[in-house]
Amino acid sequence: MRVEMAGEAQRPDRVSEDYAAATPEALVLLDGSSSPAAMESGCEHGTAWYARRLGVHLLARLVDRPDRTMAQCLSDSIAETASLHGARCDLAHPNTPAAMVVAVRRHGAALQYLVLGDSLLVLDRFGTIAVIGDNQPFPAGEALRREVHAMRPGTPERAALHMRYALAVRAARNTGRGPWIAAALPKAAEHAETGSVPLADLRSLTALTDGASRYVERFDLGSWPDAVALLADRGPAELLRRVRQSEATDLDCSRWPRGKTRDDATVVFARMQ
């Protein structure tokens, strides 16, 4: 794989809660699950720390343990990361740090993949585009999420609704009643979407956090084939520039309703041929 990547924090004064890393055989992309500022997490480390530690452990497992499935590698990495927290962190807290995960690796003549959460993996099979991910919906919270998006950013009403939505998601996730996410429970890995593709059938792959997938999914700046063509021609930084440009023209989220005016955004683009 020949890998290019670009990432940008939500704001210059914030540390990005995304994490990306790659070797010639494997890559990982994690999108830390951000929380309202007033919400306790039971953890002294924070989401950015968690995403980086889990990403490092997962990449090492993917490369060193070809005998383990992708889901087993993620499960092992969740357990290994949980062991680093220490006694002062409450891993049973519903808002313990968590992340969405995209991972791929070369395995013989195939590319294996895993996606958990609302980050996306886009496979270009010589013009046939497959989009994998956003696989943990939360139908019970959709009405409340739409209410949040309908409110003007920065208002107390929106902040209160956002907190209600965040609490509802965290009360349900990793319980069997809501979405599964990489946090402190290794069995969450069992709910990831996994598969494989012959390497000979694959021209490129792209992993995107939801802040970057806005290019297609929220702002409709082009189709997925358009996005892949842009990445191949101009690179990931150009896609992020266009996302930021659209965000800047809609600071009140009225044209494109969304949870955040800006979000951490990361793209990893890998050429296979």
CATH of the domain at 234: 3.60.40.10
What are the start-end ranges of the H helices in 7-155? 47-64, 70-82, 142-150
* pTM, rounded to two decimals: 0.95
Our count of domains for the chain comes to 1
User: What pLDDT is recorded for position 98?
Assistant: 96
Whether residue 211 lies inside any domain: the answer is yes
Q: What is the band of 38 on the pLDDT scale with cuts at 50, 70, 90?
A: confident
Cβ(179)–Cβ(135) under 8 Å?
A: no
| 135's tokens | 């696989």
| 62's tokens | 């993917």
Whether residue 224 lies inside any domain: the answer is yes
Structure confidence by residue, pLDDT tens digits, 85-117: 988 899 899 999 999 999 999 999 999 999 999
Rounded average pLDDT over 234-245: 98
Whether residue 36 lies inside any domain: the answer is yes
Whether residue 173 lies inside any domain: the answer is no
For residue 127, pLDDT over 80 is answered with yes
Whether residue 101 lies inside any domain: the answer is yes
* Residue showing tokens 């699950």: 33
Whether residue 83 lies inside any domain: the answer is yes
For residue 227, pLDDT over 80 is answered with yes
Structure confidence by residue, pLDDT tens digits, 131-147: 999 888 888 888 998 99
Domain limits for position 231: 2-137+179-271
